[in-house]
Copies of this chain bind each other. A is one copy, B any other.
Amino acid sequence: MPPQTPLKSRIHTAVTDAVTRARGAQGAAVPARLSEALDYATTPGGARIRPTILMSVALACGDDRPALTDAAAASLELIHCASLVHDDLPCFDDADLRRGKPSVHRAYSEPLAVLTGDSLIIAAFDELARAAAEAPERGLSLIRILAARTGMPGGICAGQGWESEQTIDLSAYHCSKTAALFVAATQMGAAAAGAEPDPWAELGLRIGEAFQVADDLRDALYDTDALGKPAGQDDRHGRPSAVSELGVSGAMKRLDDILSGAIASIPSCPGEAMLAQVVRAQAEALTPVAPVIQRG
C-alpha cells in the first residue's frame, strides 16, 4: 500500500473533526449558512498536498504525538482552504469555480465568503491551541510557524499583497505566495514530532518552488474542466509565471531540477526514504506530464 492511503484517511478525519468543532455543537444556536459554508469550503478535499507533506515529515521524524500532528495537518489545511476562499473573491481572482463546484462567494454570497475565510483562519489557530494542551511548547512553536507562513510580513498574505505593488520582488513574492505553506508543512511536521524545525525549511521552499512551476504549467496547459477552476488566470491577470518566462519545455526542465534538489535537501531522519517517495508521488500527481526525476 503506498504511504498516501492511510495518510489520506487520517487527514480527512483530522480536517473533518476540526471543521465540525468550528461549526459548533448540534442544536446550538449558530448561523446555519456560515456553518454550512465552512463545510462547503473544505470539501471535497482536493489533493490535500500540504497536510500530506506535513504528516509525512512528522512520520519520518517519529510522530510521537499523533494528536498534535493531526491538529497541525488540519490547521494547515484550514488555512489553505481559507486562502482559496479569499483568493476567489471578486476583488481578487473573481473565480466562479473551485474544485469543480461554485466558489464560496458564488454559492453563499460575498459576505459569507469573507466570514468563511476569517473563521477558518481562526479555527486553525484554535485547533493548534486545543491540541497543544498535551505539549504546550510544541504547540506554541506550531502556532508561530503557521502565523509566520500565513500572515505578514512573510506569509501568504504578504504573497497576495505583492500583487498590489507596482514593482514586485520576485523572490519574496514566490517565497511568500506559494512556498510559504509548504515551508509551514515541513517545519510543522518536524515540530509536531519534537524535531528542530529550522533544518526542514529548505525542503519546504523547494517543494513550494516545484509546485509553483507545476501550477504555472497546469494553468497554461489545462482547460477549466480539467482544472476544476478557471484556466489561464496567470496570463489574464498578468502574473509572473514560469511558463511565460521559460516556455513549457523550459518550465518542465526546471521542475525536474527543483524536485531533485528538494529530495536531496531532506534532513537525515529515520523515515528519509519514505519521505522522498511521498514528495515524488505528490509532485507527479500534480504535474501535467510526470517529470523525469533523478532517483538516487
Give the interface of A toward B (CB within 8 A). Answer: 22-25, 28-35, 38, 82, 86, 89, 91-92, 108-112, 114-115, 117-119, 121-123, 125-126, 129-130, 132-133, 136-137, 139-140, 143-144, 147-148, 150-155, 157-158, 160-165, 169, 171-172
Cα of A31 to Cα of B176 in the assembled complex, Å = 10
Number of copies: 2
Tell me the interface secondary structure of chain A in the complex. helix
Complex contacts, A125 vs chain B, CB 8 Å? 122, 125, 143, 147
A50 to chain B, nearest CB (A): 17
Closest chain B residue, CB of each to CB of A149 = B122
Could you pull out 12 A-B pairs where Cβ atoms are within 8 angstroms? Answer: A23-B152, A29-B169, A33-B161, A34-B158, A82-B118, A109-B164, A111-B160, A121-B121, A123-B151, A129-B147, A133-B140, A139-B140
A243 to chain B, nearest CB (A): 24
Q: What 8 A-B pairs are tightest by C-beta distance, nearest first? A: A24-B153, A122-B151, A34-B161, A31-B161, A126-B147, A136-B136, A29-B172, A91-B110
A109 to chain B, nearest CB (A): 6
